[in-house]
Amino acid sequence: MKNKALYIILFAFLMVFLWIPIIQKEFHIFKVKPLMGVVIETPKPSLTLETYTSGKFQKDCESYVSENFGLREPVIRIYSQYAWSFYHKNFNIYFIPGKNNWIFYFPAVKDYYGQEQSRHFSTKSETIEFIDNEVEMMCTLRDSLQHYNTEFLSFMAPDKAFIYPEYLPTAYWVHDTTTLNGSAYFSEKLEEADFPNIDMTKWFIQMKDTIDYPLFKRMNFHWDFSATIAFDSLFRLMRDLNGMDIPQIRIDSLTTYIDDKVQNDEEMLNLLVRLKDPTPYRKAHVSVQCDGCHKPRVLFVSDSFIWAFNEQLPEDDLVATEDVWYYNTTCYDNFHVTDKEKYDLKDINRLRRVLRADYVIMGACSHQWYDGTMGFAKQILDDLKDRDLVKKSLVMNEIESDTNWIKALKVQTALLSKPLEKVLEIEADNVINQNALLKDSTMVSEEALFNARVAKVKEELRNNPDAMGSIIKKAKDRGLTVEEMLEIDAKWVVNYQDQKK
């Protein structure tokens, strides 16, 4: 009898164990903490005779189920915790545990040991040829952009591995002395060419023994408060290049505190229990001096180190516009405002954004310089050869600088169901071809502008499956149509954006 009861309990436990993931997947009963990092969704497989007979459907099903079963997140965190706690092993290929619980970025560690070059080039001479060519293009592009009153400079963000090599792992790592360090050679050639450049790794190495606190946290690849020092130097260089009276950064004080809620790169280990970082979080208190100065229009072509500009500094007080071209693939248009736009660079007029900037800054941390300007210099040099494109870009920028004109075109975005960038292109063609202008046929009012923005937000919400799921649920709960609920939410978003400005 006792055995029977035990069997029933074990069977019930087994059924619960098997069914809970299925129930969780369908109904999301338990609130789980999402995994950190980049998420690449696996599409739901399509069953056809061809995919079934070829075995593709079965393979795709296996991938889809493994990425979408219920309670996947805590299961992964439990296993990651087990591997880290017992074997000091992790499943994030970009993490390298160092000494004294310091963590480092894998490509940066490879770069320090001379092993990163081989991932990009076959030989040292090939690396030299590539960098020499990149430097030549950067110099040519700078000369060309100066004709349009645009300065071009570079900014080498620091790499933690080079600044704190004493905490790097040593087991199984051997220095390859036959290779070339890409950023060091780049920095040397830029200096020889008299190209304006700041190498923060060099400076931070010199600085680290003169201050009482580390320039990087143990659990972060990226910088925090130390970015304010670097951007202060960057703005000084920008001011010296063309004499423009731009804002001055002043570091008034530094606050030190412990806050477990501050996000570190360590979170991407996806452990069940976060690692404690004994390094205090530091926040620099910055003021901006700008008595009648000119806030510049800035375009950054950069990696993830640029995000510190927005996190650590009052960018609204420092720049008029700030565009970020992330790895020269994605454009965050006017990044520092609430209703910023995001574009794929293949889909927009890159040249006009370059020509409207007062400063174009090529920025990346040390190991990223094996990719040079990430194709930026060659692309813009090619664009500048197209005289029609240059003319159209300048006309678009002229239109954009006219407040009343751009208001009229924002109304047209709703009437034409096109994004502002496309409407700008249409109007520039009208100017060049001496056709009737859109602005002359547009009645501009605050209500029309508001409605145009609402229409734009509605389109963005329609293209967001998660947002639409929430809107459909709210519509049902409130007894409204989906379109009515969509209108309400879009107006709320626009009003919220206005409050944040």
- Per-residue pLDDT tens for 112-130? 999 999 999 999 999 999 9
pLDDT of 335 above 60: no
Q: What is the mean pLDDT of residues 2-17?
A: 79
**294 confidence band (pLDDT: 50, 70, 90):** very high
Q: What is the pTM of this model?
A: 0.81
Q: What is the mean pLDDT of residues 418-445?
A: 88
Q: So what's the pLDDT on residue 442?
A: 77
pLDDT of 258 above 70: no
Angle value at C-alpha 19, between 16 and 23, nearest 5 degrees: 120
Q: What is the mean pLDDT of residues 51-58?
A: 87
**Helix, strand or coil, per DSSP, at residue 286:** strand
pLDDT of 443 above 90: no
The domain locations on the chain are 95-385, 397-500
Q: So what's the pLDDT on residue 318?
A: 93
Q: What is the mean pLDDT of residues 441-447?
A: 75
* Rounded alpha-carbon distances, angstroms, from residue 433 to 231, 351, 488: 43, 20, 41
Q: Where are the beta strands (DSSP E) in 17-98?
A: 95-97
CA distance 487 to 490: 5
Q: Where are the beta strands (DSSP E) in 276-408?
A: 281-289, 297-302, 321-326, 330-333, 341-344, 359-365
* Tokens, residue 200: 């923060």
Higher pLDDT, 303 or 14: 303
**272 confidence band (pLDDT: 50, 70, 90):** confident
pLDDT of 337 above 50: no
Q: What dihedral do alpha carbons 370, 116, 368, 168 form, nearest 10°? A: -150
pLDDT of 40 above 80: no
Q: So what's the pLDDT on residue 225?
A: 86
Q: So what's the pLDDT on residue 418?
A: 84
CA proximity to 219, closest of 303, 276, 284, 162: 276
**pLDDT tens digits, one per residue of 55-77:** 888 888 888 888 888 888 888 89
Q: What is the mean pLDDT of residues 128-140?
A: 98
The one-letter amino acid at 288? V
- Concatenating the DSSP letter of every residue in 191-216 gives HHTT--EEEHHHHHHHHGGGSSS-SS
Higher pLDDT, 50 or 342: 50
Q: So what's the pLDDT on residue 262?
A: 61
**pLDDT tens digits, one per residue of 78-110:** 898 998 888 888 888 888 889 988 999 999 999
From 138-147, 158-167, 253-262, 452-461, the region with the lowest mean pLDDT: 253-262
Q: What is the mean pLDDT of residues 320-336?
A: 84
* Tokens, residue 277: 């970082």
* Tokens, residue 131: 């960098």
Higher pLDDT, 463 or 204: 204
Give the Cβ contact number of residue 85 at 10 Å. Answer: 12
Q: Which residues contact 470 (CB under 8 A, 6 or more apart)?
A: none
Give the Cβ contact number of residue 56 at 10 Å. Answer: 14
pLDDT of 445 above 80: no
Q: Which residues contact 452 (CB under 8 A, 6 or more apart)?
A: 410, 411, 412, 413, 414
pLDDT of 336 above 50: no
Mean of all residue pLDDT scores within the chain? 88
CA proximity to 280, closest of 311, 248, 257: 257
**pLDDT tens digits, one per residue of 395-426:** 999 999 999 998 889 888 877 888 888 999 99
**340 confidence band (pLDDT: 50, 70, 90):** low
Q: What percent of the chain has pLDDT over 70?
A: 96
